[in-house]
């Protein structure tokens, strides 16, 4: 990356995406708590996990759900100069569902969200690598 420090702002304090993004970034540069001291400020505008039913039986039992991880962000300098315009990333996965295996499907859903998050972090890192301060 062409910069040595970054600050992450706009995230929920307990955001799993923020945690993984910070962990990955710390392997390459300094992640600072104060945006005014960082070379690049990565601002989260939307960090959302979504789950919607896409198929059900005539008896209203869920058969398939779609999981979505949505992240909208931008990068700028502490002074507000835009380095990367607002961008939205969306990762989605379909998951078959059975009431009789609800616990197993819960674990599978959590694992899918982790995989989706890893994919999203990789996309964000690639985009940040293209930023020139």
pLDDT of residue 5: 97
Q: Which domains does the chain carry?
A: 5-129 (3.30.160.150)
pLDDT along the chain (133 residues), means of 10: 94 95 96 95 97 80 89 97 97 85 81 95 96 89
pTM: 0.86
Q: Put the strands of the sheet holding 62-76 in their side by side order.
A: 30-32, 5-9, 40-56, 62-76, 82-96
- Residue 46's H or E segment, with its range, is strand 40-56
Instruction: Give the closest residue to 92 by CA, choosing from 50, 126, 59, 30.
Output: 50
Q: What is the CA radius of gyration of the chain?
A: 18
pLDDT of residue 28: 94
User: Beta-carbon neighbour count of residue 9 at 10 Å?
Assistant: 15
């Amino acid at each position: 990356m062409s910069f040595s420090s970054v600050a992450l702002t706009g995230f929920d304090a307990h955001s799993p995406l923020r945690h993984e993004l910070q962990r990955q970034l710390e392997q390459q540069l300094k992640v600072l708590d104060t945006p005014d001291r960082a070379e690049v400020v990565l601002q989260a505008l939307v960090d959302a996990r979504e789950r919607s039913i896409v198929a059900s039986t005539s008896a209203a039992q869920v058969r398939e759900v779609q999981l979505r991880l949505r992240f909208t962000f931008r990068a700028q300098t502490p002074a507000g100069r835009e380095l990367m315009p607002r961008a939205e990333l969306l990762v989605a996965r379909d998951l078959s569902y059975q009431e009789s295996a609800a616990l197993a499907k819960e674990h599978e859903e959590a694992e899918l969200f982790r995989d989706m998050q890893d994919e999203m972090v990789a996309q964000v890192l690639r985009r940040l690598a293209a930023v020139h301060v």
